[in-house]
A = this chain, B = another copy of it.
Amino acid sequence: MNNMKTVIAPVNIAVIKYWGKRDEELILPLNDSVSATLATSVMCAKTSVFTGPQLTSDEIWLNGKKESFTNKRLVNCLEGIKAIAAKEKSVDEEFLKWKVHVCSVNNFPTAAGLASSAAGYACLVTALAKLYNVKSDVSCVARLGSGSACRSVYGGFVQWHAGTEPTGKDSIATQIAEASHWPEMRALILVVGDSAKKTSSTKGMKKTAETSELLKHRIEYCVPQRTTSIIQAIKEKNFPKFAEITMKDSNQFHAVCLDSYPPFVYMTEVSHKIVEVIHKYNEVCGEVKVAYTFDAGPNACLYLLEEEVPKIISLIKYVFPSSSPDNFVTGLNYEQHELSKDFLNKVGLEPESVDLLKYIIYTKVGEGPAEVTDGSHLLDQNGLPL
């Protein structure tokens, strides 16, 4: 059916962080960022878009709830794709005039505090691009929905170029390497029980850009060097280098939040405990085997190679005991591993109180958005949610 398209799209977790806009309206960043796209088999957004002459208004349903289509970012995405379609003459003019219905769901709990907007906007924009037969890069349209969404338009390892144009036309994402380039790369998302109400990313990065003196140095000196180095590390599959830059950049992002005025913090004492666990583990291994990175919240994303996964899960379970250990790890399968007493002694950490970590999502680097061709749409033939 040509007036219905359904797409799934991945989340991505940055290793060089995006923090601070040079243009609030166009969502243009102050610095380049780099991320890995995570497998849609574990976590994804799924979006159906439908158009037809019978529709009287643009409508959207998010995770089963009807929402307003007046959200500016949403409108910008729809208009952005339609503008490209008009320019490319990829569909009839008439087709472009019809209203659209959008239905989107995440297959992971949004309550987990995981950045679902990146997957959601990448999914919406890709679905619209397929509906309107658009061929050119749509990452700059996804960016209008949520900055980091532009990175979810591609699989593997992705760079979002800050660009210099005032229009933002060069602020796009490009792929550094396919997921298959480094097939052993894995990610563990450690979901921390979040209590306090936190500063939103949008407000936080505005505050940092306006008040942090250290941000200037980060943007001018640190990020350009780190971006070059981590791209090289990815191309060379140099894990220790990749990991060290990832950790340093996460720390620096949280440092500039603290250097803002008033300061704000996203990491909790549990987050800092995770940092300590990873540094201890790497120290005992005598090599950097695992990296942590934290976005605008307390959850950790650990990057590591497949062979380390059983050991790290075992260590995390030891330090952060769970009252429901059977459901503690979701996602990919892994082999159980029992850490030796000797190893645990060397790490020298004691178990924390129960349930400081809610659960772990085990996933890997994966592909970009993909069209769903099995007919499992989220909207029916009338464009209404199923």
Contacts and interface: CB of A to CB of B under 8 A. Distances in A.
Contact of A263 (B218, B251, B262, B263): B251
A259 B269 contact: no
Contacts of A247: 261-262
21 contacts: A213-B222, A214-B218, A214-B252, A214-B255, A214-B259, A247-B261, A248-B261, A251-B259, A251-B260, A251-B261, A251-B263, A252-B258, A254-B258, A255-B255, A255-B256, A255-B258, A258-B258, A262-B275, A262-B279, A265-B272, A268-B269
Instruction: Summarize A's interface: helix, strand, loop or mixed.
Output: helix
Contact of A252 (B213, B262, B265): B213
A339 to B, nearest CB: 21
A87 interface: no
Contacts of A279: 262
A74 to B, nearest CB: 31
A37 to B, nearest CB: 26
A258 B251 contact: yes
A203 interface: no
A349 to B, nearest CB: 12
A252 B248 contact: no
A341 interface: no
Determine which residue in A247, A252, A261 has the highest number of CB atoms from chain B within 10 A of its CB, and name it: A252
Contacts of A265: 272
A218 B217 CA distance: 9
Nearest to A268: B269
A72 interface: no
Nearest to A250: B263
Contacts of A216: 217
A100 to B, nearest CB: 41
